[in-house]
Amino acid sequence: METDCLIIGYNDSNFEEYVNMVRSMGMDSGAYRDLNLAFITHDNKPYRALDILNHFDDRNGEENYRPLSNMDFLSPAILYLSTYLVRKGFSFDYINLFDLEKEQLKEKLQNDNILTIAITTTLYVSPYPLLEIMSFIKKHNSTAKIIIGGPYVANQVKMLNEQALQQIFKYIGADIYVISDEGEWTLTNVLKALKDRLPMNTVENIAYRKGEDYVRTPISKEANSLEENMVDYRLFQKKKQSSDHGINEFVSIRTAKSCPFSCSFCGYPIRVGQYRYLNTDLVEKELDAIKEIGGITTLSVIDDTFNVPPKRFKEILRMMIKNQYNFKWNSYYRSDQGDEETIELMRESGCEGVFLGIESGSDRILKNMKKTARRKDYMQAIPLFKKNGITTHTNLLVGFPGETYETVQETVSLIEEAQPDFFRAQLWYCDPITPIWQQREEFGIQGEAFTWSHNTMDYQMACDLIEEMFFPIESSVWLPQYGFELWSVFYLQRKGMTMEQIKRFVKCFNAIIHEKLLFPNKKETTPHLIEDLKQSCFFDASLNPQKDHIQPATMEELALLESI
């Protein structure tokens, strides 16, 4: 088989190695304290939420058992990139989940005639997942050119000087790096050059290996039309079994690129450029194509601002109601860009959940962030979603310039009063690419990434406040990061868990994390917490007794255990 481009999707790399790497930065580092809220340790091994659910799942060990995964859908990057390649006359193949499909990849690498291998980096923040893929490829294939592109590469180019960039390129070891915020057009130019035996210096937007170094070519702006590059779902055979290649019951789509807003903590619009979106007729065309696949139960809209502009969003909702699509859907939602009618239309059209980037409950901090929404918008929207049976998750940032103890308490009170189903607070990441960096003198910003300070707070104080928020809020459930997202809730419902079971499972998981925060030197988890967690992992509701209140071990229990 001849393949112009074999695309490799996500690699859920070894989590234990990742934890050890972050821990090496120091257990007081912002990076580790942020990560520490997302895993438990059982039998001396770190587990994320879905990892431990797989470990204790009563179905584990059955024939054809496939582990639960947050990436159990065909990657949108593969869908869009593959379709683009075909329209430009190139052939493709793909591996969706590297860590689960190594045997299939090995067979392709050894038996197929592959010109290039393209590795996507949409969800990577470090090179470690790439290193594992690179090692595997080189072990089984020595002829295909390896191309790496996507957000991780583009971000490194923006952040690093030439010497550091050369070091990271050599460290990873690809043949060619695509340097573009999009990259589809550049990839096809690389393929054309290779097939026509043209020199790589004729291709813009790349860095290619030449001797011991990498040579960068001129940069030009790449903007691939949404209208002309919609997914051709006919190229992807639907999964008939869990081991099959192709689309399963979960599909992600985009109807827009970039974001029309300029929040000062976010560099996404700067990287991607002007906001562009499909009109309602083209959205309908794509939804009709998804409906024709058959068996799709869950649609995730990955637009940063699906409900903007509001008029178009209502048109889409009315179209969906008219067409009576038989799948549920979820999306991001901006609370100041909708009203009660919008939320009612969302319910009627099959919306089951929204991700709300609230960031703060303080109007002062929202103003600093240049958010257009205010506290009153969230206090109005969240109860309306609850009234309409739509699950809500609110995401929060703690430590943004201007943050104080008092502004964090405003955020806590918002969660307690509005009572979203789920919430999560994250440490502010100081990114020099974001607009707030231009105000660093005004706010006294020192440092970057997860190690920073400013006029009103430093990262250690922010971490302390986040940990204080972790357990006392009982009206909403904390969603652990790194392995459990709002989408996981709908995924587990499709797999047979009820919402009540899911919330109990997450609460049991969080209780162990809370105990870890209270007693960091305690080597083993209190037995009853492990037993509660184990029972919460049973999909059979009769084996999963419900408890209204879950708490870590008390000081008295710990003293008793130590005396035994």
Helices (H), 329-438: 340-348, 363-368, 375-387, 405-418
Quick one: tokens of 508?
A: 């049991």
Question: Whole-model pTM?
Answer: 0.91
285/175 same-domain check: no
- The rounded distance, in Å, linking the Cα atoms of 249 and 283 is 19
Q: What is the pLDDT of residues 329-344, one digit of tens each?
A: 999 999 999 999 999 9
- DSSP-assigned beta bridge partners for residue 176: 147, 208
312/388 same-domain check: yes
pLDDT of res. 287: 97
pLDDT of residue 559 exceeding 90, the answer is no
532/445 same-domain check: no
- The rounded distance, in Å, linking the Cα atoms of 35 and 18 is 10
pLDDT of residue 380 exceeding 70, the answer is yes
pLDDT of res. 470: 87
276/151 same-domain check: no
251/127 same-domain check: no
CATH of the domain at 180: 3.40.50.280
Percent of the chain surpassing pLDDT 70 = 94
Quick one: tokens of 536?
A: 């919460």
Q: Is residue 9 part of a domain?
A: yes
The residue out of 495, 519, 543 marking a domain boundary is 495
pLDDT of residue 491 exceeding 90, the answer is yes
488/538 same-domain check: no
Q: Is residue 252 part of a domain?
A: yes
- The rounded distance, in Å, linking the Cα atoms of 362 and 360 is 5
Q: Is residue 59 part of a domain?
A: no
Phi and psi at residue 124, to the nearest 5°: -95, 140
Query: Pairing between strand 2-10 and 113-119?
Result: parallel
Q: What is the pLDDT of residues 391-408, one digit of tens each?
A: 999 999 999 999 999 999
pLDDT of residue 563 exceeding 50, the answer is no
Structural domain count of the chain: 3
DSSP 416-482: HHH--SEEEEEEPPB-TTSGGGGGHHHHT-EEEBTEEEETTEEHHHHHHHHHHHTTT--SSEEPPSS
Assign 93 to helix, strand or coil: strand
Quick one: tokens of 140?
A: 């089984």
197/249 same-domain check: no
134/231 same-domain check: no
The residue out of 495, 530, 551 marking a domain boundary is 495
CATH of the domain at 288: 3.80.30.20
Quick one: tokens of 256?
A: 């827009």
Q: What is the mean pLDDT of residues 263-281?
A: 89
The parent domain of residue 236 ranges over 227-495
Contact 427, 398 (CB under 8 A): yes
Q: Is residue 52 part of a domain?
A: no
484/521 same-domain check: no
With 0-12 CB in 10 A as exposed, 13-18 as middle and 19+ as buried, what is 251? Answer: buried
Q: Is residue 61 part of a domain?
A: no
Q: What is the mean pLDDT of residues 222-236?
A: 90
Q: Is residue 131 part of a domain?
A: yes
- The rounded distance, in Å, linking the Cα atoms of 354 and 271 is 25
139/244 same-domain check: no
End-to-end CA distance of the chain: 65
Q: Is residue 29 part of a domain?
A: no
Q: What is the pLDDT of residues 534-555, one digit of tens each?
A: 999 988 755 555 554 555 555 4
Closest of 75, 74, 69, 178 to residue 117, by C-alpha: 178
- The rounded distance, in Å, linking the Cα atoms of 131 and 337 is 42
Q: What is the mean pLDDT of residues 249-262?
A: 93
Q: What is the mean pLDDT of residues 363-379?
A: 98
Phi and psi at residue 465, to the nearest 5°: -70, -35
- Give the residue carrying structure tokens 């690419």: 433
Q: What is the pLDDT of residues 32-60, one digit of tens each?
A: 999 999 999 999 999 999 999 999 987 77
In 292-340, DSSP assigns E strands to: 298-301, 328-333
287/380 same-domain check: yes
Q: Distance of CA 161 to CAs 156, 168, 394, 550, Å?
A: 9, 11, 36, 50
- The rounded distance, in Å, linking the Cα atoms of 284 and 287 is 5
DSSP 248-302: -SEEEE-SEES-S---TT--HHHHH-S-EE--HHHHHHHHHHHHHH----EEEE-
Q: Is residue 47 part of a domain?
A: no
Q: What is the pLDDT of residues 66-79, one digit of tens each?
A: 789 888 999 999 99
Other CB atoms within 10 A of residue 395 CB: 20
390/436 same-domain check: yes
Closest of 49, 39, 208, 219 to residue 116, by C-alpha: 208
The residue out of 163, 185, 216 marking a domain boundary is 216
